[in-house]
Structure 1
C-alpha cells in the first residue's frame, strides 16, 4: 500500500475488457494498444471474452503477455459457469471440456458433482493462466419467465442452491481460483433483463432472508473471495430507486455488516442498460464506490470513470482512505491466491490438460 501512487490505487478499482485493438481487429495478443491502456490506467484486472480467443495457445500467450505489461499482477477473469455462459466452453476452437449448466448438476442433488465439475473448470482455467472465474451463480430460480438467469442457477430451493454454491466455492479455493458469487442480492425472481434496462423486484427484507440471501450466506461461509452486485432496484428494502450496485444499505448495511462479508465487492458490468441508460460512466463509478463496491467492472467509458473517481477525490466526495479500504481488500485476495507472488502464466502443457480424457470421463459420469 505504501508503495502505490494514487493513480495505481484508482487503477486497482477497475476490471476492464479489451475486445478490439487500434485497428478494430480482435484483441488476440498483448500489442501496443493493450500496453498503452495498462500503462495509462493501471487496471487491477482484465476480463476476457470469446472475441479474445483464437486457440488455446494464443489465449495462454495473450494472458502471459498481458501480465508482463503490468507492474502489479492482474486479475485475469472470465465468465465460465458452464452451460450457456461459458466463454471458452461454447467455442469449439478452444478444445475445453464442455460443462453442463448448473441446473443439470443441481437436479442430481449430489454435491460431489458440483465439486467435480468445478474442479474440471478450475484446472482448465489455470492451464490458460486465468485466476478469477465469475462464478458460481448464487441466485435462486424462482421465476420461470426469467430471461437472463434460469438454468444458470442450481435450484429453485434456496438450501439446495446454497449447498451446491458452497461446494463450488470450496473447490475453487482448493484450486486457487478466485470465486465470485453473483448476482447479489439475488437476480432469480426477475422477468426482465438488466443488460437491457431497468429491473425492479418488489420483495421485502423478510422474503430475501428466506430465499434470495440463503445461497449467498452459504457461499460466504464457505469462503467466497468476491461477490458481484446486481443492478436491480429493491425499493421495499432500500426505500429509494437506486439499484443494489449503488445502495449503501445493501452493500454495506446488509452484505458487509449483517452478513459479515470481508472480501471484494465487484459490480456487475457497468455498461449494462440498467446503469448506462440512467447514469454517466463517471457518476456510476463514483456512486458504486461510495455505496461500498471495491471493483468497477467494465465501465461504459474507462477514461470517464477513472476521471470521475479522481475528481471525486479532489472534491472530497470520496476520501483516499475510502479508496485504500478497497485496495487493501483487492491486494489481500491477490496475496491469498498467490497472484502477487507469481503471475498467472498458464501451462506449457496446456493441450494435455484442457479437454482431457479424464475430464471428459468426469463430466460424462455427471450427465449420464
Structure 2
C-alpha cells in the first residue's frame, strides 16, 4: 500500500514538472510573438517616417521652384516695364494673325523656279519658238493699226504665244483705251507677257506724249541722283498704272542728245543706275540700251564702231557694268558693228563675240538680252528675217525684237529646232530668263 502511494507521488511530481515545462514553453512563445509584433511596429514606424520625410522634402523643393518661378516672373515684368519706359518714343510693331508673312528670298526663288519648270513642261515646241519674239500689235495681228485687243488679238495669241509686245503712239489714244487694251491683252495670253513702251522722260516719251502727260524730265537735264530717282519713280508709277510692265529705257549712250545722261561715263553710270533701280522698284522692268554703243542713224545701213576693247572698257562699258550691278532686267544689243568684240561686218545683235563672250562673259550679265530692231537696213540688207532670228539666238540673245517678217522669223526658229541647229535646251535657257523676271515681279 505504501509502495502504491509512493508511486502516486512520483507520478504527481512528474506531471507537475511536465506542466511547468509546458507553461514555460507557452510563455516563451508569447514573448516571441510580442517581440515580432514590436519589430513589425518599429519597421512600420520607420517606413512611415521615411515616407513623411520624402514628402516633406518634395514639398520643400516644389515650394522652392514655385518661389523661383514667381521671382523670375516678377523680374520679367520689371524688365518689360523698364524697357517700355526707356522706349516711350519708339514705335512698337504689333503682329496680328492677319499680317502676311513675307517669304524668305530663298523660298521665293524656289517658288519661282518651280513655276518656271512647270511652265516649260506645259509649253509645246511651237509655243517656245514663238515666246522668244518681241513684236508690235500690228505684227502680231496683221492689222494696220491696233487700238483694241479684240478677237483678232485673241486668235493671234492662241496661234503665236509671243513673249513681248511693244506699243507706239499709234496704239495709244486715251487713258481708258490703253488700260483696257493692255489688260485684255494680258488676260488673253497663255503665258506672262512683256507689255513695253519707250518712255525716257520729257518729250522722248511715247505714252506721256500721246496722253498729254507732263511732270518728267529728259535724261540729259536731270540734276543729280535724287532727280533721276524721282523722275524714274514718276515714270514707273504711271506706266504700271496703265498696264505697262517694261520700259525700253534708259539709253546708256555717251552723248549730248536729250535722251542720254551726258558724255561722262561715270556720271551716266551713276544716274542710270539710280534710274533703273527706281523704275524697277515700281514694278516696271528696265531695258538698258544699246550695248555697246547706239547707232546714229538706223536707216543708213550697218554702221561701224572702231573703238578698241581698251577704249570700250574705259568708257562705253562703264554704264552697262553699273546697270548690271543695279539689276537691270534686260539689255538691248545694238545693230552696230564693233569689230573689237563682234568681228568684221557683223552686227553686235547677231554676234556671239559681243553677246556671249563680252556681255555675258566679260561683264557677267545673266539677264534678258534683247536684240535691237531687226526690221532696219543694218539687218535687212544682209539677212532674211529667218536668218537674222536664228543667228541672234545662236549668238546668245533671248528675244528677237521687231523682225521684218514675224511669221518668216518664227518659221525659221522652228526649222532650226527641227534640224538641230538650235536645241530645245538652248531655247529653254532664254525662256527661263524671261519667265524668271515676270514671275519674280508677280511674287513681289
Q: TM-score, normalised by structure 1?
A: 0.85
Following superposition, the deviation at residue 25 of structure 1 comes to: 5.2
1:158-201 Cα distance to aligned partner (Å, 9 max, x none)? 000000010011101211110111000122xx5x4124421111
Which residue among 205, 209, 212 is the counterpart of 1:86? 205
Q: List per-residue Cα deviations over 1:134-162 (Å, max 9, x = no partner).
A: 01111111xx6xxxxx2211010000000
Q: Distance in 2 between matches of 1:205 and 1:129?
A: 40
Find out whether 1:15 has 2:15 as its counterpart: no
1:36 aligns with 2:155: yes
CA distance in 2, matches of 1:23, 1:161: 39
1:216 is aligned, of 316, 320, 329, to: 320
Q: Which runs of 4+ in 1 moved over 4 A?
A: 20-25
- Kept after mapping to 1: 8 A contact 2:374/2:400: yes
1:196/1:32 CA distance change after superposition, 3 Å: farther
In the other structure, the counterpart of 1:158 is 265
Structure 2 vs 1, CA of residues 116 and 210 (structure 1 numbering), >3 Å: closer, same or farther? Answer: same
- Give the conservation status (yes or no) of the 8 Å contact 1:256–1:262: yes
Q: Secondary structure at the match of 2:388?
A: helix
What pairs up with 1:1-368 in 2 under 5 angstroms? 1-19=120-138, 26-91=145-210, 94-105=211-222, 108=223, 110-141=224-255, 150-187=257-294, 192-338=296-442
SS of match in other structure, 2:271: helix
How many residues are treated as equivalent by the alignment? 325
Structure 1 Cα separation of the partners of residues 401 and 341 of structure 2 = 24
**Partners of 1:90 and 1:98 within 8 A in 2:** no
Question: Could you tell me whether the CA contact under 8 Å between 1:264 and 1:294 is conserved in 2?
Answer: yes
Equivalent position SS for 2:335: coil
C-alpha RMSD of matched pairs (Å) = 1.8
> Contact 2:333/2:349 (CA < 8 Å) preserved in 1?
yes
TM-score by length of 2: 0.71
Answer yes or no: is the 8 Å Cα contact 2:371–2:400 preserved in 1. yes
The change in CA–CA distance for 1:238 and 1:26 in structure 2 (over 3 A counts) is closer
Distance in 1 between residues matched to 2:166 and 2:380, nearest whole Å: 19
Distance in 2 (alpha carbons) for counterparts of 1:23 and 1:158: 42
CA distance in 2, matches of 1:23, 1:335: 29
SS of the aligned residue for 1:269 comes to coil
Provide closer, same or farther for how the CA distance between residues 33 and 195 of structure 1 changes in structure 2, counting only shifts above 3 A: farther
Q: Distance in 2 between matches of 1:76 and 1:23?
A: 18
For structure 1, list consecutive stretches of 5 or more residues without a partner in the other structure: 145-149, 343-368
Q: Which 5+ residue runs of structure 2 have no aligned equivalent?
A: 1-119
Asked whether the 8 Å contact 2:333–2:370 carries over to 1, the reply is: yes
**Residues in 2 aligned to 1:20 and 1:51: alpha-carbon distance in whole angstroms:** 13
Q: What secondary structure sits across from 1:266 in the alignment?
A: strand
Is the CA contact 1:21–1:27 (under 8 Å) kept in the aligned structure 2?
A: no
SS at 1:139 equivalent: coil
If each structure's helix is expressed as a fraction of its own residues, which one has the higher value? 2
Cα offset, 1:24, TM superposition: 5.0
Q: 1:97 to 1:332 in 2, by over 3 A?
A: same
1:355 alignment counterpart:
none
The structure with higher relative contact order (CA 8 Å, sep 6+) is 1
Higher Cα radius of gyration: 2
Aligned counterparts of 2:131 and 2:139: Cα–Cα separation in 1? 22
Kept in 2, the 8 Å contact 1:20–1:26? The answer is: no
Match of residue 65 from structure 2: none
Residues in 2 aligned to 1:66 and 1:23: alpha-carbon distance in whole angstroms: 15
